[in-house]
């Protein structure tokens, strides 16, 4: 990419998309285009084609998606499957139709089987059953990967796919039910601190192991891959480090300043027992994350505090 290349960031208001915009601007890219969901519904095929026809982007970062945690994925599977299929199909096909030079599609670590061999290698895709609680989202993302590969195989399109691990950072979703585990814990501990609650219950047993990456590190990886990676085979983007949900909860409580007791709600699901990405391919290319978990949590909590009034009135 040239610094003046026209770059479209789909999903630029989301946690990952906004981080990609910040990263591109910091590196001197000056010709960025994006549209809000109010002005461009990415589920609308005609609207997406019109946008590509008018803007004529040369490069596309597809970070647009309907996302949520275990509760949201399990409760609204039709929404997660339909919306994500429509969004990515429209963006990817429009990128082909309008001769975009290169596209990066962002998937998710949930594409891999529930009981995949750990750490999870890219070759594990479609080697077993998915985690039932987020199956709809996973199927949509798998379809996006395969669509990118199909355009590469049939038409030679430079469409690549990156699979990020669990993300957190600036602009995360802190909804008490529909958010992912880390922002959900941050909000719960903050509200417990403010209310003086003696204890906070976390979902499940606290035993599952998870990997977390700061969103700005993912953005750096995405720009790195857009500049240097040409293989149509998907590539994992992670830290190679994992932590139990209980350890995570204790660290979040420490950062927030909550000193009460942590208990467990066994009626809630654990999800996948362990999910660590094998990011050795990315590391071999020369990329490593920069932000440690505690440092990232401190930055994220500062961002949360700046927006706490908004999150306290959030609706489903």
Q: Which two tokens stand for residue 76?
A: 């609204």
If pLDDT is split at 50, 70 and 90, which confidence band does 70 have?
confident
DSSP 8-state secondary structure symbol assigned to residue 133: G
The two structure tokens encoding residue 250: 């204790």
| Cis peptide upstream of residue 119 (ω within 30 degrees of 0) | yes
Q: Is residue 15 annotated as involved in ligand binding?
A: yes
Binding site annotation covers 121? no
64-73, 91-100, 246-255: lowest mean pLDDT where?
A: 64-73
pLDDT category, 68, cuts 50, 70, 90?
confident
Weakest-pLDDT range from 120-124, 155-159, 267-271: 267-271
Q: What is the pLDDT of residue 127?
A: 97
Please provide residue 151's backbone torsions phi and psi, each rounded to the nearest 5 degrees.
-65, -35
203 is in an annotated binding site: yes
95 with 52: CB under 8 angstroms? yes
Residue for token digits 């977390």?
A: 212
User: Active-site residue among 8, 34, 59, 137?
Assistant: 137
Residue 107 annotated in ligand binding: yes
The Cα 270–Cα 287 span in angstroms is: 31
Query: What is the Cα 1 distance to its own chain's centre?
Result: 23
Q: Judge whether residue 52 has pLDDT over 90.
A: yes
Confidence band for 134, pLDDT divided at 50, 70 and 90 = confident
Q: Is 11 annotated as a binding residue?
A: yes
Q: List b or e across 281-295, with b for residues whose CB sees 16 or more CB atoms inside 10 angstroms.
A: bbeeeebebebebee
CA distance 300 to 166: 14
Q: What is the dihedral of CA 19, 22, 25, 27, to 10 degrees?
A: -70
What average pLDDT does the segment 28-33 reach?
97
Supply the angle between the helices 245-256 and 293-306 in degrees, to the nearest 10.
Answer: 50
Give pLDDT, residue 316: 30
Q: What is the mean pLDDT of the chain?
A: 93
Rounded Cα distance, 208 and 48, in Å: 40
pLDDT exceeds 50 at position 145: yes
Which residues, 6 or more positions from 188, have their beta carbon under 8 angstroms from its beta carbon? 176, 200, 202
Quick: pLDDT tens for 217-257.
999 999 999 999 999 999 999 999 999 999 999 999 999 99
Give start and end residues of each alpha helix (H) in 56-207. Answer: 70-75, 77-97, 135-155, 181-195
Of 254 and 179, the structure prediction assigns the larger pLDDT to 254
Tell me which DSSP letter residue 14 carries.
S
* Dist. CA 225–CA 284, nearest whole Å: 12
Q: What is the pLDDT of residue 67?
A: 84
Instruction: Provide the token pair at 33.
Output: 């285009």
Assess whether 137 carries a catalytic annotation: yes
Tell me, yes or no, if the pTM score tops 0.95: no
Exposure of 64 in the CB half-sphere (CA atoms within 13 A): 28
Ordered domains of the chain (ranges, CATH): 7-173+212-241+276-291 (3.40.50.720)
User: Residue 314 pLDDT more than 60?
Assistant: no
Token representation of residue 121:
């290698």
Q: Are 311 and 174 in contact (CB under 8 A)?
A: yes
Please list, in sequence order, all residues whose beta carbon lies within 8 angstroms of the beta carbon of residue 248, skipping any fewer than 6 positions away: 181, 182, 185, 210, 212
Phi-psi group of 124: left, alpha or beta (phi > 0 → left; psi -120 to 50 → alpha; rest → beta): alpha
pLDDT score recorded for residue 69: 74
The pLDDT value given to residue 126: 97
Contact 92, 44 (CB under 8 A): no
H or E stretch including 61? strand 59-62
Cα distance between the two ends of the chain: 39
Question: Does 14 count as an annotated binding residue?
Answer: yes
Q: What is the DSSP letter of 120?
A: B
169 marked as part of a ligand binding site: no
């Amino acid at each position: 990419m040239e610094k003046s290349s026209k770059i479209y960031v789909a999903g630029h208001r989301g946690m990952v998309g906004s981080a990609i915009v910040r990263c591109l601007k910091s590196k001197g890219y000056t010709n960025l285009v994006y549209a809000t969901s109010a002005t461009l519904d990415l589920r609308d095929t005609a609207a997406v084609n019109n946008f590509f026809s008018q803007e004529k982007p040369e490069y596309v970062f597809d970070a647009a998606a309907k996302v949520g945690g275990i509760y949201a994925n399990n409760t609204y599977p039709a929404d997660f499957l339909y919306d994500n299929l429509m969004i990515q199909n429209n963006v990817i096909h429009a990128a082909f139709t309008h001769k975009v030079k290169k596209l990066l599609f962002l998937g998710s670590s949930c594409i891999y089987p529930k009981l995949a061999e750990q750490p999870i290698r890219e070759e594990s895709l479609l080697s077993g059953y998915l985690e039932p609680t987020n199956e709809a989202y996973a199927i949509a993302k798998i379809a996006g990967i395969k669509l990118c590969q199909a355009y590469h195989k049939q038409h030679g399109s430079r469409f690549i796919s990156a699979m990020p691990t669990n993300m957190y950072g600036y602009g995360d979703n802190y909804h008490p039910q529909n958010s992912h585990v880390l922002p959900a814990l941050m909000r719960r501990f903050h509200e417990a601190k403010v209310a003086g609650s003696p204890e906070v219950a976390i979902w499940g047993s606290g035993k599952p192991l998870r990997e977390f990456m700061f969103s700005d590190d993912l953005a750096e990886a995405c720009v790195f891959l857009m500049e240097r990676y040409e293989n149509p085979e998907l590539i994992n983007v992670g830290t190679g480090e994992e932590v139990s949900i209980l350890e995570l909860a204790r660290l979040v409580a420490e950062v927030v300043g909550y000193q009460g007791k942590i208990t467990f709600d066994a009626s809630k699901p654990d999800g996948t027992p362990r999910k660590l990405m094998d990011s050795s391919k990315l590391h071999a290319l020369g990329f490593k994350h920069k932000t440690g978990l505690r440092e990232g949590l401190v930055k994220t909590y500062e961002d949360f505090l700046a927006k706490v009034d908004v999150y306290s009135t959030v609706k489903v």
